[in-house]
Structure 1
Amino acid sequence: MSDDPTGPPVSERTALRADCASCFGLCCVALTLTASADFAINKDAGTPCPNLAEDFRCGIHTRLRREGFSGCTVYDCFGAGQKVSQETYAGQDWRTSPDIARQMFRVFPVMRQLHELLWYLTEALTLPAAVSLHAELRASLDATERLTRLPAEDLAELDVSEHRDRVAALLLRAGELERAGVARRGKRSRRGADLIGARLTGADLRGAELRGAYLIAADLRGADLRRAELIGADFRDADLSDADLTGALFLTQAQLNAAKGNAATKLPDSLTRPSHWSADRLPTA
């Protein structure tokens, strides 16, 4: 491990991306589903989804949105599924080893929280303006990684909240440093703002703090979101067509998957264009 605080992040983001082929369908079993616009059925935590096949693959993977399971296309475990399946439990699955099933289903949500923190910390270590915090960020990342390697029985009982709060405070400082270099008028915080259905077509949101903002069904066509801090922002059904999210801070694939967009939406290099987005360039109003 390099001691250079300006060096590359410790964790490779490839390890923080879901690899469903190496997972035992944990998100399809461990989580609760509530019948809604996101899920077609109710399902209790610990009960396998009826669409889960014997090989732990989704039987309707290519039809999830059509079948009423759009929430499944949005969910991202940040690589926690394969970590629990292949490392924490060394390849033992809950079907052939039912005695570990209940514990495994408790461990998975804990690991998911830790992996999400690793995703944000890894990104924070790439922010040039936050170089003064890189040593703290690296130490926090290392501490989080150590937690992911705890034995299953310890992970099952782990309360992540205190650690998450410390990481969140550090990420907030890193985001503030990075956004400070964006020359923009009216940089007031929109943290946690209710922007549901807001008409923000072509809005200049460069360097804005939108941490935890509710942007459900917001019209963000053509908006400039460069260097905006988007950690925890709710983009469900928000229209990002023609928007520029280049360098947006702490944006995740799950947020993009929940939104709408098109071929002209500009994204950070670390994220991919969702398959359900329009392939056309849509005119902005």
Structure 2
Amino acid sequence: MTFADSSDVPTDIRSALRANCADCFALCCTAFGFQRSADFPIDKPAGTPCSNLTDDFSCSIHDSLRPRGFRGCTVFDCFGAGQYVSQTLFGGKSWKERPDTSADMFGTFAVVRQLHEMLWYLVEAAERATLSELSEPVNQLRDEILRTLDGDASEILACDVESIRAEVRRTLIEVSDEARGGYAAAEASASGLNPSADLVGRDLRSVRLCGADLRGAYLIAADLRHGDLAGVDLLGADLRDARLDGADLSQALFLTQLQVDAAQGDDATVLPPALTRPRHWLG
């Protein structure tokens, strides 16, 4: 997909914000670096190919990433930036074919990924603010990002992504406040369920969660089994190994596939329609 005519882009552009690895030059496996940790068994400098990358830009251990210690790869989401940079911005010419473009390609990928992630959130914000006065600023931000993406690689690299992110953050907080306004979230707040809260390993099964603002909260290994997360703002929350068995996240705010992939759940976990059940939940 291209974003050539942002004026005609429908509110739901999620199809372009989903990764299509077949049309990408393995940018996530080359552009970014990682250090040996619980998520990666080796060190890899940024701008270098992963040792598991094959000549056709596929992963030689794709089906066994988790048992081999590459869990970080399984929870990464480029929000469709990989194929957009590879095919649209660089015309289908890989960094192998054109080594002189590799630095610009990798740098552009990092920026486009951020812009695509913000678009993902703004799509949901637009759906929630349809009948609200917030609809106009949400759509204006969406269109600003789409216009930025319509530029070439040099223009995208030159954009003030931090300024755009700050505007998006303010707008998403306003949408969240309005969406959560109908919930009585006093109990959640009294239980320490606040933005950026440290809830690592916390058993939250007996806490009323509806309407809680958990933006940026640390929910690593937290127990949310069978919880109702309607109206819970999960923007940027760390859900690594969070227990979501039987939980209902269908009406949670700003949940991404990346967060779901990092968590633990089962067949009874209810997800928003835009997200899919991870393979490791089915095993």
TM-score (norm 1): 0.92
Aligned to 2:54: 53
Residue 61 of structure 1 deviates from its aligned partner by 0.8
8 Å contact 2:202–2:221 — kept in the other structure? yes
Aligned to 1:156: 157
Percent of aligned pairs sharing the same letter: 49
Structure 1 residue matching 2:101: 3-state secondary structure: helix
8 Å contact 2:6–2:146 — kept in the other structure? no
Aligned to 1:85: 86
Aligned to 2:101: 100
C-alpha distance in 1, partners of 2:187/2:10? 33
Distance 1:233 1:196, change over 3 A: same
Structure 2: 5+ residue runs without aligned partners?
A: none
Structure 1 residue matching 2:249: 3-state secondary structure: coil
C-alpha distance in 2, partners of 1:9/1:192? 33
Distance 1:130 1:196, change over 3 A: farther
2:161 aligned partner, one-letter code:
V
Deviation sequence 1:4-39 (CA, Å, 0-9, x none): xxxx95351010000001110000000011111101
C-alpha distance in 2, partners of 1:29/1:199? 38
2:251 aligned partner, one-letter code:
G
Aligned to 1:273: 277
Residue 219 of structure 1 deviates from its aligned partner by 1.1
Distance 1:12 1:262, change over 3 A: same
1:23 aligned partner, one-letter code:
C
Residue 158 of structure 1 deviates from its aligned partner by 3.2
Aligned to 1:197: 201
2:212 aligned partner, one-letter code:
A
Q: Which is further off, 237-246 or 129-138?
A: 129-138
Matches for 1:238-253 after TM superposition, within 5 Å: 238-253=242-257
Aligned to 1:27: 28
8 Å contact 2:188–2:207 — kept in the other structure? no
Q: CA RMSD for the aligned pairs?
A: 1.8
Structure 1: 5+ residue runs without aligned partners?
A: 280-285
Structure 2 residue matching 1:32: 3-state secondary structure: coil
TM-score (norm 2): 0.92
8 Å contact 1:227–1:246 — kept in the other structure? no
